[in-house]
Amino acid sequence: MSAEKLLEIRGLYKNFGSLKVLKGVSCDIARGEKVVIIGASGSGKSTMLRCMNLLENPTFGEIWLEGRLLTPVDPYLHNDIIRASRTYRRLSAREGADDEALIKKIRAEDLLHERNEGRDYAALMRRFYGDNYMDTDSARARIGMVFQHFNLFNNLTVMENLTLAPVRLKRKTKEEAEEKGHELLKRIGLDDKADVYPSTLSGGQKQRVAIVRSLAMDPQVILFDEPTSALDPEMVGEVLELMKALADAGMTMCVVTHEMGFAREVADRVLFMADGTILESGTPAEVFDSPKNPRTRQFLEAVL
Amino acid sequence: MESLGYSLLIALGAVVIGFIIGVAMAVIRISPKTNPVMRALDRFAVLYITVIRGTPTLVQLLILYNSVLVSFKSMSTNLLVPIIAFGINSGAYMAEIIRSGICSIDVGQMEAGRSLGLSWLTTMRRVIIPQAIKVVVPAMFNEIIILVKETSVVSYIVLKVGSRQKYDLLGMAEKQGLATPACYLAFLFTAAALYLAVVMLLTFVQHHIERKLKKNER
C-alpha cells in the first residue's frame, strides 16, 4: 500500500437484509484528491460514503486509511490467507489445479468458513488484523463527515459544537479548541454566532458550521453526504463556496452530490455509481463530456 | 404538618433513586447489544420493568418491608424502606419515559457524534440525554405527581423515626379520624387539600422549567 493512497476501499459489499446495496466496490482516494460521486438515488453512493467511516458496517470487503485496516479482515482479498486455509489445501490435494484457479474458485464460491478452518488460519487472520488495524473511533476522528441534514448538536452552542470532540478526545485543551473555533468561525463569517444555539441559524449557516465542526478535528479527509440537498436554493451557493475554498486549500474530499457544476469545477475524479457498483470513473471532462457507459449518458441527460 | 414533611421526604428520595435507576435502565435498553454482558443487562432491565410495572405498588412495598429490606425495617429510623421501595417502583416507569425521550431524538445526532470519533457513551451523555430530558419533562412530572400521591400507601406500614412512630399525610388523617370519628371526613379532606396543594406547586415548577428550557434554545 503506497503512502500515496489515503483511503482505500477494497471489494466492498453491503447488504441490508436481502437487499444488496453495494456489490463489490473498490476505489482509492489519494491525499489531496477530490472525488465526487454521482448517481441516481438508490445507487448506493451514500451507503458507500457511510461505509467509509463505518457508520454502516460493510458486509464484505475492507477499508484502509493511511495503510491501516478499519474493517475486519476479508480473507478473500488476501491470497496468502486463502492459501493458508484447509479448504485450499484440501482442494489442491484433491484437484491439483493451479494456484490461481483455486483461489478464484474459493473466492467465487465463498468456500472459507471460519469454523472449518484450522488454528493456523485463525492465527494468520488474527496476526494480520493485529498488525494492521486502526480502531473505529480513532479512524472516525481522522475522517470528517458532513451530513445532508447538518446534524449539529441542538443542545450545544455553536462554539460547543466545535469544541466538544477535540476537547473530549484530548486533541486540544479547551482554550486551544476555542481559539481554533473562533478562527474557523471567522473564516465563515459567523464568529458573532459563537454563543447561539443552532436552532437560530439558517440552513446554509448550519451546514457551514457543520463543515467547520469537522475541520475542528483536523481531519485527513472529509466525506460530504449530499451537503446541499436539504438547503433552500439561495443557500446552496454559500455552502459550495466554502467547499471550494477547502478544496483549494488542499483538503482531501469525497463528495456525494447532485451539484454537477460543483463536480465539474472541483473534482479531480468523478465516479458514476449505479446498482451498487461504480460504472464509470474519470476526470470530469471524461465523464461529463464523453461518457463511455450508456447508463452514465442516460443519467447525465436526465439531470443536466 | 410534620406528616406532610414525611410524605414529601419519601417522594423526594424516591424520585432521586427512580431517576438514577430510570436513566441507567433506559440507556441499557437502548444500547447496541454487541456483547453478552450488554445482552444480559438488557434482559435484566426488561425483567425489572415488566415485574415492577406488572404488580401493585402496595404489594411491592409490603414484600420489600417484610423480606428484602427487613434489616432497614428494624432500624430505629426506617424511612429508607419506603424510599427504596418507591424508588425501585418509580425507576421502572421513569426508564420507559426516558427511553421514549431518547428514541425521539434524531439518529443523526448520534451519527454526528460518532463520526467525530466520540464514543457511544460520550455522545449519549453529552448530546442525546440532555436533549431527551427536555422532551420528557411533562411525562416526568406526570410520574412525579403520581408518585407523590402514591406515597399515601405507606400508611400500611409502621414508620419510625428515632424509635418513635411517625405518620405520613394519609396515615395522620386516619389516626386523627380514629381519635375523633366525628371529624373523620374533615381530616380526609384536609389531607386531600394538602396533596392538591403540593401537586399544584409541582405543576407550577414544571411549567417554569419548560419555559426556561425553551428559552435556552433561542
Write the CATH number for B106. Answer: 1.10.3720.10
* pLDDT tens digits for range B102-136: 999 999 999 999 999 999 999 999 999 999 999 99
> Chain-wide mean pLDDT for chain B?
91
| Dmax (CA) of chain B | 70
Name the 3-class secondary structure at B115.
helix
Higher-confidence residue: B1 or A41?
A41
The reply to whether B6 falls in a domain is yes
Which residue among B112, B114, B218 sits closest to A153, beta carbon to beta carbon?
A: B112
Residue A247 parent element (H or E): helix A233-248
Lowest mean pLDDT: which of A205-219, B53-67, B153-167? B153-167
Q: Are B170 and B192 in contact (CB under 8 A)?
A: no
The reply to whether B44 falls in a domain is yes
> What pLDDT, on the 0 to 100 scale, is given for residue B218?
54
Contact B106 A149 (CB under 8 A): yes
Q: What amino acid occupies position A16?
A: F
The reply to whether B78 falls in a domain is yes
Number of domains, chain B: 1
Which residue among A137, A149, A152 sits closest to B117, beta carbon to beta carbon?
A: A137
Nearest to B83 by CA among B26, B127, B20, B163: B20
Buried b (16+ CB within 10 A) or exposed e, B156-187: ebebbeeeeebbbbbbbbbebbeeeeeeeeeb
Model pTM? 0.86
The reply to whether B183 falls in a domain is no
% of residues, chain B, pLDDT over 90 = 68
The reply to whether B102 falls in a domain is yes
Higher-confidence residue: B159 or A115?
B159
> What pLDDT, on the 0 to 100 scale, is given for residue A2?
42
* Residues of A within an 8 Å Cβ radius of B: 53, 55, 137-145, 147, 149, 151-156, 164-165, 168-169, 197, 199-200, 210, 213-214, 217
Contacts of A214 in chain B (CB under 8 A): 115-116
Distance from CA of A36 to the nearest CA of B (A): 20
Distance between CA A135 and CA A127 in Å, rounded?
15
Contact B113 A153 (CB under 8 A): yes
Residue A141 parent element (H or E): helix A136-142
pLDDT band at B216 (very low <50, low <70, confident <90, very high): low
User: Considering only alpha carbons, which residue of chain A is nearest residue B131?
Assistant: A155
Q: Are B140 and B118 in contact (CB under 8 A)?
A: no
Q: Are B148 and B54 in contact (CB under 8 A)?
A: no
Average pLDDT over residues B71-98: 88
Q: Which residue of B104, B115, B136 is the best one to mutate when testing the A interface, meaning the one whose CB has the most A CBs within 10 A?
A: B115
Q: What angle do CA A38, A43, A46 make, to 5 degrees?
A: 70
Contact B218 A197 (CB under 8 A): yes
Strands A60-65 and A5-16: antiparallel
The reply to whether B178 falls in a domain is no
Contacts of A152 in chain B (CB under 8 A): 112
pLDDT surpassing 50 at residue B166 = yes
Q: How many CA atoms lie within 13 A of A231 on its CB side?
A: 26
Contact A53 B109 (CB under 8 A): no
pLDDT surpassing 90 at residue A57 = yes
Q: Which residues constitute the domain of residue B58?
A: 2-167
Contacts of B111 in chain A (CB under 8 A): 55, 145, 147, 151
> What pLDDT, on the 0 to 100 scale, is given for residue A89?
83
**C-alpha cell of residue A86:** 484447509
The reply to whether B185 falls in a domain is no
> What pLDDT, on the 0 to 100 scale, is given for residue B20?
96
* pLDDT tens digits for range B173-182: 888 888 888 8
Contacts of A140 in chain B (CB under 8 A): 114-117
Which residue among B109, B116, B218 sits closest to A165, beta carbon to beta carbon?
A: B116
Higher-confidence residue: A219 or B66?
A219
User: Considering only alpha carbons, which residue of chain A is nearest residue B115?
Assistant: A140
Q: How many CA atoms lie within 13 A of A193 on its CB side?
A: 22
Contacts of B131 in chain A (CB under 8 A): 154-155
The reply to whether B28 falls in a domain is yes
> What pLDDT, on the 0 to 100 scale, is given for residue A104?
84
Contact B115 A53 (CB under 8 A): yes
Nearest to A7 by CA among A41, A40, A42, A51: A51
* pLDDT tens digits for range A154-190: 999 999 999 999 999 999 999 999 999 999 999 999 9
Distance from CA of B128 to the nearest CA of A (A): 9
